Structure 1
Amino acid sequence: MTHPSPTELLVLHAVRLKGHADSAAVAARFGLDAHDTHEYLLDAQAHGWVAKASFADLTGWSLTGTGRQRNESQLRDELDGIDARGTVDAVHEDFLPFNAQASRLFTAAQLGSAGDIHGQLADIADALRDLERRLTARLTRFSGYHDRFAIALAKSIDDPAWLTAIEVDSCHRVWFELHEDLIATLNLSR
């Protein structure tokens, strides 16, 4: 049976996955209500779990060290509470060879290498569909990675920025976020 994560966990986890994001982007990550998310962020700020900062023309939230520890505790408690550690660990193991391949492809795309990058990333997207299916059978918060990746891949045919750019929800950004989600959930280091 799939488990819906509590909003407080999703808000902190979205900040972790995004790295630095405004309230709307945090809410959008898991389809949360924007007003409620902003209120959760203000509460999290009062607890010292998030900080609001501005860089150039961007203002957003980021996790503090205490917030990272809080999110790790939430993730651990959730994973153990629903006995899903084995599933997530198995998916992570299956993810690693695809991660090595994806990393090579993203580097090649950034260097402008020719080749069948799109075809190989399409194969990775197919694998991602299965990985996500296995994860979402236990935790709903893992949903959406395949669709986001596939949309970015389709857009990259006309605009290569959708392969690796950081200012759009590119294939690389989606893949990096999934990797962070898996290692955060399992409390691993990169």
Structure 2
Amino acid sequence: MLIGMTHDSAPDLRVLHAVRVIGMASDEAVARRLGIDLDTASELLRDFEAYGWVTHVEFGATSGWTLTERGRDEDSRRLGEELDQAGAREAVERAHKEFEALNGRLVRACTDWQLRPTGGDRLAANDHGDPQWDARVLTELTAIGAELTPLVGGLTAVLARFGDHADRFDAALRRARAGEGQWVAGVGVASCHAVWMELHEDLLSTLGIARGGEPENG
């Protein structure tokens, strides 16, 4: 790779890896996440199904594609090859260390958004009746977002597919600060917490690290 040039992942790798990062994803979710044509996403996903790399599952009222073990192995193999071909390993390892330094703060902030201990109950749900408590959490998330931007910038300089994580975090934070509290840690939306978890999975899978195989704050 030429110095100063970022690496663009192949479209089929981007689609396969998107399923891994999202966890369970519809055709529409993959296309929207990657900014690609729905027909392209659908065609690749059905090819992957034929290869045994993805399977379509239903969970309650939701459904989507998930990786099979074979698909996870294929994604890991391709990610490892890409990492070395792009000369990106050192940059991604550095970003992972920086991420880990922020991870504990993000987890605490999201916990504080969901819980506000009282004298009799340290696990009392946050009823969001204390504006100072919530403002402190949003201030901390803003500070984390400010540190996330250069972290993702360093990743994007070597692997273009990391490029939207900081923008998505900022978009969720803007909605949270505008009064839409579900965008802090809500399920079913691209909340700050959801975006953070996707970036975490992206870093771990790119480096071939099993979840739980990190330091304690990982």
Calculate the TM-score normalised by the size of structure 1. Answer: 0.97
Partner residue, 1:174: 195
SS in 2 for 1:189: coil
- Unpaired runs of 5+ residues, structure 2, are 116-125, 212-218
CA positional deviation for 1:83: 1.1
Q: In structure 2, how many angstroms separate the alpha carbons of the residues matched to 1:14 and 1:188?
A: 17
Task: Trace 1:46-85 onto structure 2 (pairs within 5 A).
Answer: 46-85=50-89
Q: In structure 2, how many angstroms separate the alpha carbons of the residues matched to 1:100 and 1:134?
A: 21
Task: Trace 1:102-121 onto structure 2 (pairs within 5 A).
Answer: 102-111=106-115, 112=126, 114=133, 116-121=136-141
Once the two structures are superposed, residues 8-38 of structure 1 have per-residue CA deviations (whole angstroms, 9 ceiling, x without a partner) of 1111110001111100101121212210111
How many pairs align? 190
Q: In structure 1, how many angstroms separate the alpha carbons of the residues matched to 2:40 and 2:50?
A: 15
CA positional deviation for 1:166: 1.4
Percent identity, aligned pairs only?
41
Equivalent residue letter for 2:164 = G
1:143 aligns with 2:147: no
Partner residue, 1:131: 151
Equivalent residue letter for 1:33 = D
Partner residue, 1:159: 180
Q: In structure 1, how many angstroms separate the alpha carbons of the residues matched to 2:36 and 2:207?
A: 24
- Unpaired runs of 5+ residues, structure 1, are none
Equivalent residue letter for 1:150 = D
Greater helix proportion: 1
Whichever of the two has the greater Rg, that structure is 2
The Cα RMSD (Å) is: 1.1
SS in 2 for 1:102: helix
Q: In structure 2, how many angstroms separate the alpha carbons of the residues matched to 1:71 and 1:97?
A: 27
CA positional deviation for 1:177: 0.5
CA positional deviation for 1:110: 1.6
Calculate the TM-score normalised by the size of structure 2. Answer: 0.85
CA positional deviation for 1:60: 0.7
